[in-house]
Amino acid sequence: MRFSSSILLALPAIAVAEEQIPILDRVKGFFSKATAAVSSSIPVVPSAPIKAATEKAASKAAAAIQHPITLENWREVLTVDPTASPPTTQDWLVFITGGNSTCYGLCANATKAWNASLPVLAAKPNPPKFAYLDCEQENILCNTWSVGCPSLYYFQIPKPLADQSAPSPTVRYQPLNRTSTTAQTYKELIVDNKIEDVVPYEGFFHPFNGDIQKYGLAIPYGYITWAFSKMPSWMPMILISFFSRSFMGKRMNPGAPAPAPAAAPASAR
């Protein structure tokens, strides 16, 4: 009887202990839900808008310190400061880029890196002046210079002396990789002066003193190459086929011989 009565007295305590466990679980669950609610109420700023805003700000900063050049104004832009005393040389760094038709849509990476690097390049002691050439908009000028994109043209333009004599501007042309170009690439070329290791260009397409400029062929050449770039791929084959057939036809079927001269009339007796 004592054993059974002690068991009966212990049952309420056991029931209370069993009821305590769900209560603790409920409290823990409540705090877990509250924490999740607070976390969900904190707005998460997506990274894409931040990246876009950063790139837009870099683009605006780049536009403020570089000069767009065109077929009409490049000679006036790429000059020496008129207030500088000769002999002196003005350095110009021209970034050449393009779009879908001139760069196959692959210049965006190099352009973003250029915009991001410009503040660093401009902070260099005695920095060059900066210019921007978009071959998508200035296709004729890019053809007259015979340049691809993306690339850099580095000009060192001397100011003429009092007698208007001046040595030829030194130009260095550096193509850029469309996928691997970064801001560090521009920093190494300009701030670390690796651009000076590039051999100066002195060929036919020299923008200032090349033969194509001396003989006035630059603009016609630019328009001709532009026209060929707009020509459908099948058009050259048709033209070549037409001229080859015409040429071979003339060789295989030469013209008929000229008629013999008529006999002279008999002299009257």
Reply yes or no on domain 54-229 having CATH 3.40.30.10.
yes
CA distance 95 to 135: 10
Q: Above 60 in pLDDT, residue 14?
A: no
> Which whole number is the average pLDDT over 230-250?
66
What does 132-165 look like in DSSP terms, one character per residue?
Answer: EEETTT-HHHHHHHT--SSEEEEEEEEPP-TTS-
Quote the distance between the C-alpha of residue 145 and its chain's center. 16
> Which whole number is the average pLDDT over 106-120?
95
CB atoms within 10 A of CB 59: 16
Q: Residue for token digits 């965006």?
A: 108
Query: In sequence order, which residues have a C-beta less than 8 Å from that of residue 111 and are 6 or more positions away?
Result: 95, 97, 150
* Residue-level pLDDT at 239: 63
Tokens of 67: 């000069």
pTM: 0.67
Q: Which of 35-49, 102-116, 128-142 has the lowest mean pLDDT?
A: 35-49
CA distance 86 to 76: 18
> Which whole number is the average pLDDT over 76-86?
84
User: How much of the chain exceeds pLDDT 70, in percent?
Assistant: 62
Q: Above 70 in pLDDT, residue 220?
A: yes
pLDDT tens-digit profile of 91-112?
A: 999 999 999 989 988 999 999 9
Could you state, in order of their start, the residue ranges of all structural domains in the chain? Answer: 54-229
User: How much of the chain exceeds pLDDT 90, in percent?
Assistant: 50
Quote the distance between the C-alpha of residue 33 and its chain's center. 51
Q: Above 90 in pLDDT, residue 1?
A: no
* Residue-level pLDDT at 152: 97
